[in-house]
Structure formats: structure tokens, C-alpha cells
Structure 1
Amino acid sequence: MLAGIDLSGKNVVVTGGHVGIGLETTRAFSKAGARVVVGSRSPDRAAEALSGLDRVEVAPLDLLDPASIDAFADRHLDRRLHILINNAGIMATPLHRDARGYESQFATNHLGHFQLALALLPALRAAHGARVVNVSSGGHRLSGIRWDDPHFHTGYDPMLAYGQSKTANVLFAVELDRRFADEGIRGYAVHPGIIVGTNLGTATDDQLRAMGLIDDSGHPIIDPARGQKTPQQGAATSVFAATSPLLADIGGVYLRDNEVSPLDDSAPKPIAFGTEPIPVADVVPHAVDPDSAQLLWDLSEQLLKG
């Protein structure tokens, strides 16, 4: 993805850029000459994982803590920001709420990154050409935004909550691009594929075997045609979104396999642990609806006010 692209002099922020596809994304930017700041809840562990990479630094960042987000942003407003990769996330976790009472997957995967991007807007504007990349998932197909109950005060389902948060990632990219494309800030959402071994999900080995994701020895089964990728392959679409000249005049889109996804208006099938994974991960209408994107932006601003 970075062949022939020199990122010398470019500044990048990658949340969760020390594990899984985040680590591979950070490594790729570093090798291309960029200066990378990795935001992590565990700075010491992140620094150890990133040891040896050039021009990479770590700063504390807890996406469930508004004060931590603001503090992180404040430390980086004195420089231009060319690329923001909203990569960190959690998946299908038991019900947990942050200090505000917000459901943790929505708060971490979407709302924390929404707050971060808004806080970093001055640095993004100063770059005179910036890209914001939200790592979403084919799991967005599971649920639109639960406008009447986004925090699951009733009927919590961990996969539906994950799906809602991943839809939010896409809608956020759509509306960010609409609002700021004229200022040179473009928004993208990406589906990295099914990456086993990134510590994101909560499935057991038996469930992963049943889904065909690991073999009898516990090793990941890599099958890109089914969306099952290595961390490096999964990171490729994030890097593509952040740097490719092919996207110079395109924004507000959902990308998979290093291209713009076609729209799939068929009824999404349920995803459940213990079944075969669904290879189709094309974007569905509820995730790119412009009216929903504006509504989510307004809702997110209200939620940030408490």
C-alpha cells in the first residue's frame, strides 16, 4: 500500500497502535518515514511492543475517560496532524458502563473517537490535507443505531452492541467528510477483515474452531477470500485509506479489501459464535445513510455534554 509513498514530515496518530492491526499500521507508517503517536491505556506495554520503531512515541489515552481524551489531544495541538487512525476497539464484551452510564462498546469504539477527532480538529485543519480513518467492521451489518436506547438499558446483546458501535464508525466517517471535506479533511471507514488473535473478541477456542477461524492446533486459518486475514493484511485497508492517491477526491466511504465497498441492500444475516463466519462484509444502507449520519453527529455532541 505504501510502495512509492514517502511520509517523511507527516504526523500520524493511531489509537491502540501497539497491538494487532494497530501495531502493523504503526509499523507501516514508521517505515514510510512518518512520525507516529500511539494512544494507549497501557503506555508501558505499548512502549515495549513498539520498541525499535523509528519516530514512534506513546501517550496515555483512555477512550472511556473524557478527561484523558482531552489531555491527549492538548499535547498534540502544537503540530499539524495529517492522519488520524481511530483503531482501538472492544468487541462483544459483557455489559459495562462508563462513569457517565454509557454502554462501553458504543462509548469506546465510537464516542471516544468522536471526541478525540473533534479535539484534534485544529491540528487536522493545520495540515491542509488530512485523513481520518475509522476502523469499523462487517459487524456493522448487525445493527443500526438504537436511537431510543443506544446504551442498552433494556435487552443487552453483546453482538448487537458491537454492531451498533461499528455502524457508528461508518456514519461518523460519512458526516465528518460532509462537514470538513471543503477544508481538506476527509473521512473513511474500513473493514479490516476477520483477524484472529488480536485480543478483540471474547470467543473461545472451541467457538473459533467451529467458525473455521483456527485449526485443531489453535493456529489461525488464513483465507483472504473468506475475509480471514493476517494482521498485516488487515492493516492494509487502513493504510490504503490513509495514504492512497486513488482516494484523493473520494471520502465518506466504507472500504474493504483496499477498495470502496459496493452497497448491499439485502437483509443482513445474523452472526453468532459457533457458526461459520459470514464472508460478506459489504456496507449496508443503514451505515451510510446521510440523514442518520447527521443525527448521530448531533446525538454524539449531546452525549459529550453529559
Structure 2
Amino acid sequence: MTTAQQPLNSGFGAASTSEEVIKGIDLTGKVAIVTGGYSGIGLETVRVLRAAGAEVVVPARDVERARAAVAAVPGAEVEHLDLLDPASVDTFAATFLASGRPLHLLVNSAGIMATPLVRDARGYESQFATNHLGHFQLTTRLWPALAEADGARIVVLSSRGIRFGGVDFDDLNFEHRAYEPFLAYGQSKTANALFAVEADRRGQEQGIRAFAVHPGLIIDTGLAKHLDTAVLRAAGALDDEGRPVRDPERQLKTVRQGAATGVWCATSPRLDGLGGVYCENVDISPLVTPENEAAWYAGENTPGVLPRAVDPEAAARLWEVSERLTA
């Protein structure tokens, strides 16, 4: 059954780093795929997984840029993949399946945030298409390799951006409502969290478990390139000289701190037999309750996940819709 959305008291916290949470874990013989693995917390994830002995494949739309970025990580493989191109997703997955390798760890780390309105060739809004649908198609195409691993984990990067909006099943692509960049981002990140819930439910009998992750706000990764610096200063994320503020208790983290929760979800023995939960600060998040909802929305140091982002009925509905949208 799906794990309760309650902290485990992991022994780690908001300031813990990726190196700290993976210390002592041997991944020799394990195979991992990390989307977005050539920048930011994706690259840090690749680095520590390789250091622990895993074979790591980095799918990338810009292969040459990716190869240059991962050159400092000996042995990391780079293959072409464009999450907005269904044919590219299918080709990547088919090539990996043909290699005969099991897939022990799938970290869906790539993403875009608060972009202007762009539609892909199918007419789908780009944040939903990239952050959710592309990863949905990739994961389902790779499912045989995950099942073959006899104990696989899927880690999906969500975000506290779930606060900006849920999944609007009646207008996923902003065809009938005004487009707002953060509303679309919130929809895609809520979809990421719901995807982990249903993927875990469907995968348990095959030894596949799934986790959604809020990494924190790491603004020096390129993800925030569409945000005005004045907005970031007003939020306290940049100081007066435009430098990133580091305050992990307020989710303002370094890249190594930001990668920690995803690495923990991918590798920690504490999570054996668990799944279908949303995690942050290297632990399972509590549910946001009516009593602490105001503090959570205000951005105070209140961890938690909104119930609508882990609702099993919404998760099952999203899966069925996503199957239709990705054929």
C-alpha cells in the first residue's frame, strides 16, 4: 500500500547535502537515468551517483552541451532526448531497452519554470508537456527495464510551486482560460507529485516505487531565468548585490543541498518498501492541514504538501488522461 505522508525522522535536514545522504551507500552494478543531468541539481545527482558506483545515463536535447558539462564526471553516458518530441522519447527508450540493461534508478529532474506561453507540435502547453507529459511517456516506455531491476525507484522533481495551482482537467493547455506562467508551473508540478502517487501504486507488485521531491529554491541553476530579479529580491532570494541568499530553513539552498532529497529518495535504505510520497528536506513531508495552511502559503518555515497534490483519485485520473495524450 502507499506509504503514509508522515516524516520518518530521517536524521537529515534542510541543510544536508547530497554527499552526506549517500555516504556509505554502494551502487556498484546499478543503472540510473537522470534527465536534466547536465546542469544544476541534475548534474550534482549524476556526480554523486557515479561516485557511489552507478552507471549513469544522461538524456539531453543538446548533446554537445551535455557532454561538455558532464566531462568532469568520468563514465557518465550522454544520449539524445527531447522531452517535447514524442518520437525522440520513444527512440531513447527503445535504444535503452535494446541494451538489455535493467533500470534501477530513474530520476526525472529536467524541467522549465514560469515560461511564456509556448505550445509543442501537438498544441500542448510547454510546461505541462515538458515537466509532466514528457517524463510520463519516458517512464512508461522504460517500464520493462524498471520491472527487470527487481527493485527500482522513480524520483520525480516536483516543487513547492504546487501552491500556484492544481491540475485543471477541463483546460490542461490553457485554451479557455488566461495563461499565467506560475499557474501553468503549479499545474505541472502538481502533476509531477500526482504521477509519483499513481506510478507507485501501479509499480509495487513489480518492485517499482516512486517518490516526488521538493528540492528547495536553487536560483543559480538556470531554472529561474524567466524570473525578474526584482521579484527574486522581493522574495529574499537575492541580496542587494544580486547574489543568491543561502538559508536552507527557508528553502534557499545550494545545489548540493538541493540535490540531497532526490538522492536520498533514490538510494536510502530507510525507504525500502515505501513509496508514493512527497518528500522535502531529506524526509517525507507532512500533509498541510487547515491549521497550518496559512503559514504554509505565507512561505514561513512550514514543511508540507497540499492534500490535492497527493490525492490518489486525482492521480489515477491524471494517469489515464496522460495515457491518452501520449498515445
Same fold (TM over 0.5): yes
The structure showing larger relative contact order (alpha-carbon pairs under 8 Å, at least 6 residues apart) is 2
Q: CA deviation at 1:57?
A: 0.8
Counterpart of 1:253 (choices 277, 297, 314) is: 277
Determine if the alignment matches structure 1 residue 97 to structure 2 residue 131: no
Q: CA deviation at 1:36?
A: 0.5
Counterpart of 2:95 (choices 48, 61, 75) is: 75
Q: CA deviation at 1:277?
A: 5.5
Q: TM-score, normalised by structure 1?
A: 0.95
Q: CA deviation at 1:249?
A: 1.6
Counterparts of 1:203-222 in structure 2, within 5 Å, are 203-222=227-246
**Cα separation, partners in 2 of 1:268 and 1:47, compared to 1, 3 Å:** farther
In structure 2, the residue matched to 1:157 is 180
Determine if the alignment matches structure 1 residue 26 to structure 2 residue 46: yes
Deviations 1:25-70 (A, max 9, x none): 1111011111100011111011101103122011111100000001
Q: Is the 8 A contact 2:286 2:303 kept in 1?
A: no
**Runs of 5+ consecutive residues of structure 2 not aligned to the other structure:** 1-20
Counterpart of 1:132 (choices 154, 157, 162) is: 154
**Cα separation, partners in 2 of 1:148 and 1:268, compared to 1, 3 Å:** farther
| Letter of the 1:165 counterpart | S
In structure 2, the residue matched to 1:35 is 55
Q: TM-score, normalised by structure 2?
A: 0.89
Identity rate of aligned residues, in percent?
55
| Letter of the 2:186 counterpart | G
Q: Is the 8 A contact 2:200 2:210 kept in 1?
A: yes
Counterpart of 1:287 (choices 284, 290, 309) is: 309
Q: Following the alignment from structure 1 to structure 2, what is the Cα–Cα distance between the partners of residues 157 and 66?
A: 25
In structure 1, the residue matched to 2:9 is none
| Letter of the 1:182 counterpart | E
Q: Following the alignment from structure 2 to structure 1, what is the Cα–Cα distance between the partners of residues 316 and 289?
A: 21
Determine if the alignment matches structure 1 residue 53 to structure 2 residue 73: yes
Q: Following the alignment from structure 1 to structure 2, what is the Cα–Cα distance between the partners of residues 108 and 171?
A: 15
Q: CA deviation at 1:234?
A: 0.4
SS for the counterpart of 2:78 is strand
Q: Is the 8 A contact 1:212 1:277 kept in 2?
A: no
Give the root-mean-square deviation of aligned CA atoms.
1.5
Determine if the alignment matches structure 1 residue 10 to structure 2 residue 34: no
Q: CA deviation at 1:278?
A: 5.5
Q: CA deviation at 1:279?
A: 4.6
Counterpart of 1:115 (choices 133, 137, 140) is: 137
SS for the counterpart of 2:219 is coil
Q: Is the 8 A contact 1:19 1:198 kept in 2?
A: yes
Determine if the alignment matches structure 1 residue 190 to structure 2 residue 210: no
Q: CA deviation at 1:215?
A: 1.4
Q: Is the 8 A contact 2:37 2:45 kept in 1?
A: yes
In structure 1, the residue matched to 2:12 is none
Q: Following the alignment from structure 2 to structure 1, what is the Cα–Cα distance between the partners of residues 38 and 222?
A: 12
Counterpart of 2:86 (choices 46, 62, 66) is: 66
Q: Is the 8 A contact 1:174 1:188 kept in 2?
A: yes
**Cα separation, partners in 2 of 1:143 and 1:210, compared to 1, 3 Å:** same
